[in-house]
Amino acid sequence: MDCMGKLIWLASYPKSGNTWMRAFLTNLMTNAERPVGIDDLGTLAIGDSEPGRYETLSGKQAADLTPDDVAALRPRVHAQIAAEHPDTRFAKIHSAMMQLAGQPTVNMAVTAGAIYIARNPLDVAVSFSHHLGAGIDDIIELMGRDNALTDSTGVAISELIGSWSQHVLSWTAHPSPGLHVVRYEDMLAKPQKTFGGVVKFLGLDAPRCRIERAIHHASFKVLRNQEDKSGFRERSEKAERFFRSGRAGGWRDALSSAQVEAITERHREQMARFGYLDALQEGAR
């Protein structure tokens, strides 16, 4: 496959580890003695929902663009991002791989492949709640809503995220050589194996020491310290901080049994695919 001037998507439902993956890849590619600053992650992995491109192409302010307007512009934005570099480029995306107003959320003509990051929806609900400054029950409803759209903000245009199940299924239902799927929980528990698998998928010849340095430079502790010192432009205005907990299983201290049941009943099939029902049963023992 000719990958020149094409995009490798770093795809995930919101609050599932996308920024962590971008930090790892940016530090891997940079291979510097010091960690790359968190506000510089976009130099390697640009976001497809940054408002400026849509405003330039449409001549409108982001707040005046309807979801259908955004849908019509998105394939052009993707082509623009790809055309800016002669080589393959990473691009962050939170949209499900679907169609809106007759337009695809992913421009396959400029796509080389994708890394998809999945995270237990029980933990996603807690993290997403803090990120949006919304109640857990409201987030559970949002995560269960098919074809859900996010609102445009100062840092991101409206995205078709769908429900959590809809999102993971849209990206992972059809395995292919161009798709590599990882779990947030494995990034935490087995970083060398998991990130090493990403490096292998990308066909990069990086020695073990370089991979380990990138893992360290992208660790939660380093990222959170950077945010504490200088802030992070991707932090929601509703959130106290972007890098809040960075662990797996925090839902056990934050969700009621009714909330756990609501999420599990709505997303049982996809949770089973990713082993998240096993984790639920282990926690009950």
Q: What is the mean pLDDT of each successive set of 10 residues along the chain, which is 285 residues long? A: 74 94 89 72 80 94 90 96 90 96 96 97 93 92 96 84 98 96 96 96 94 87 66 49 63 95 98 90 53
- Both structure tokens of 99: 């169609």
| Residue 10 CA neighbour count, 13 Å, CB half | 29
Q: Is 261 inside a domain boundary?
A: no
Q: Quick one: which H or E segment has residue 166? A: helix 164-172
Name the residue range of residue 196's domain: 7-121+147-236
- Contact predicate 261/144, CB 8 Å: no
Q: Is 58 inside a domain boundary?
A: yes
pLDDT of residue 110: 96
The rounded distance, in Å, linking the Cα atoms of 124 and 163 is: 12
Q: Is 169 inside a domain boundary?
A: yes
Q: Is 5 left (phi over 0), alpha (psi -120 to 50) or beta?
A: left
Of 117, 242, 235, nearest to 171 by C-alpha is: 117
- Contact predicate 171/11, CB 8 Å: yes
**What residues form DSSP beta bridges with 46?**
91
The rounded distance, in Å, linking the Cα atoms of 49 and 54 is: 8
**What residues form DSSP beta bridges with 10?**
92, 115
| Residue 266 CA neighbour count, 13 Å, CB half | 21
Q: Is 273 inside a domain boundary?
A: no
pLDDT of residue 118: 98
Contact partners, residue 126, CB within 8 Å, separation at least 6: 136, 250, 251, 254, 255
Q: Is 152 inside a domain boundary?
A: yes
* Whole-prediction pTM: 0.89
pLDDT of residue 233: 45
pLDDT of residue 2: 46
Q: Is 246 inside a domain boundary?
A: no
pLDDT of residue 270: 98
CATH of the domain at 58: 3.40.50.300
pLDDT of residue 252: 92
The rounded distance, in Å, linking the Cα atoms of 7 and 91 is: 6
The rounded distance, in Å, linking the Cα atoms of 240 and 92 is: 23
The rounded distance, in Å, linking the Cα atoms of 180 and 276 is: 19
Q: Is 157 inside a domain boundary?
A: yes
Q: Is 280 inside a domain boundary?
A: no
Instruction: Kindly report the backbone phi and psi dihedral angles of residue 33, in degrees, each rounded to the nearest multiple of 5, phi listed first.
Output: -70, -30
- The total number of structural domains in the chain stands at 1
